[in-house]
Structure 1
């Protein structure tokens, strides 16, 4: 099933929370919502916030077996519907209340979930859930309610609404995780052997590309590699063309350019990390891995599993991923510059950690490109050359290709 989220993100690969959110939205639309302000609305909202986080915390810390997994999902959905209904009632004064307010709150939750999924497919996040984030959202919501003298004060009630929607979206995500894998705070998937082998091959290619890049030496090596990676991530537009949808016969060319871009970026990161390890005298990953290749492989595998990209490599939004990749390099360049200027060794370690994270995510992007299913061969494609439109008919395998002018018999 193809679903285009409220934010416009193409969610053809239904996110884990899709079914849970659909149920919440359906039940919220059928909930009885008062058309007038009720004095007990604040108390009910505070109770719904506190109970909602308590349910999430209990499910997250409990061991949920297959027999009671469905019950845990129902508990979270019930608590989420109650929380959102109470939020609608207490924010009555902001938008006028009634059914329009219900729809608006539902849309805000949908957007929040869409934005999280966008972060997942742009290699910035995963399906892991941090209870501390949920606790913070609940705390902000409760504090705002307690300190606001009147629900008609729009600004503080907006803050409450934002925190309540944040908590509700995390409860829905937890319900989706729980339904799929039986645990609320994460949803890792098994990684097939083919993907693991592809990962090993990609890391080998990156190391080879790094050797080629390292042969061109000169100046500040580490700074040069970080700057080159940032320039590559920010300069390419080919990924955006791919996501907008190109004719299938152009896709291989676009994918090849995109792959070489990621490979060049990863090569520069690999060079930078190697040099940073020498400067730091000990790698930051020494407590987990013995080699740089082992660190990249281990951390890339974690991303593939926790973002559930092993069986949906085509879900990666490479345009967004490249954009955010360029932004992620900026702190590494700043940390390295500060360390070099002030002779602060710990800044070298910070730079190495960021560069290694960038290298890992570039590796994941390359694995997803390698595992991306080949596009189906089109039966009919239309091209324009000058003012003449030509049709190219693709025959069965092995047959001759017939090309003809539009409106004329094939030659």
Structure 2
């Protein structure tokens, strides 16, 4: 796509990157067919091709409007379009650039700004844990919409204490320890059973995705640098062989540290190394299966699996969970229709765009429930919480299922 950058963007980092991405787009429209918001709204400007055109106009000097901002806000950043695109357009990077520029030029209403600030500052905050605990203590009294965001209290279970030669770093995350603490401890127990010692660096915190995708990109980068600093001594010493992510939303972000910090002279090389070491938990399954086989007693009943967008489109990891859990005896299936579409969680999207997020959730659950599962599993805390708010069927992380089936 031919693009003539306005003078203010010529020679800038964002301008050069955006122009290179735009030049790959041939405007074929294949992406439109797999865009969740286009499926719901049927508006060209609420699909990737239309949003690309809006960003192109802004980069060429057209003044963005509140309408421009709204169409970009409605994007889930699910990156399904990247999986569909025959030209390899890096839409996720382009929409990050477009949103940043538009937000600099288009003021938001005060209430909208306040909500976005609360999310970006509150979710990664140390105050989130006590706030969640308080919410859980009065959960039954909360309005339905708020109750949907406060999962029932969950015991974490024991953390393994054995030492192993093999060690891997884990990221505790910002919201997962409070909302679903068993995910991290179940991960640790499964790794321990396979002879791998999980290590959590004390000063590592939020992966940076929340702030970065709410257009506080400087704040997001600061959190990324803090994580690199926390992990680097063990990485540099060769004490760990990987950084394991059990939340695919965090995983896709950490895998992109190298790209996001590429222009930071102090962190570019370190960030690239961190990204290269990062592995989703499902990527370990091929080596875990032979180590755990014979020690797993898979429960009866079909399990439905929802692959998060951050796993299948962001990290391009497909099929690993289903294939390897089947090898361990689980009857796990993906709903055949629309398994590629987003469930509507998308980080903070379900809070900011509920009128789109909840129809997408119900559409996803409709397909999953056709399988009549005894449980639904996924690989991201956001998807798990969002789906659970719409069904009585238990929704869990797949590693919790595996952990529960491990013989003592």
Q: Does the pair score TM above 0.5?
A: no
Q: Which has the higher contact order (CA 8 A, sep 6+)?
A: 1
Class of the TM-score when normalised by the shorter of the 2 chains = under 0.3
Rg larger in structure? 1
TM-score scaled by structure 2? 0.26
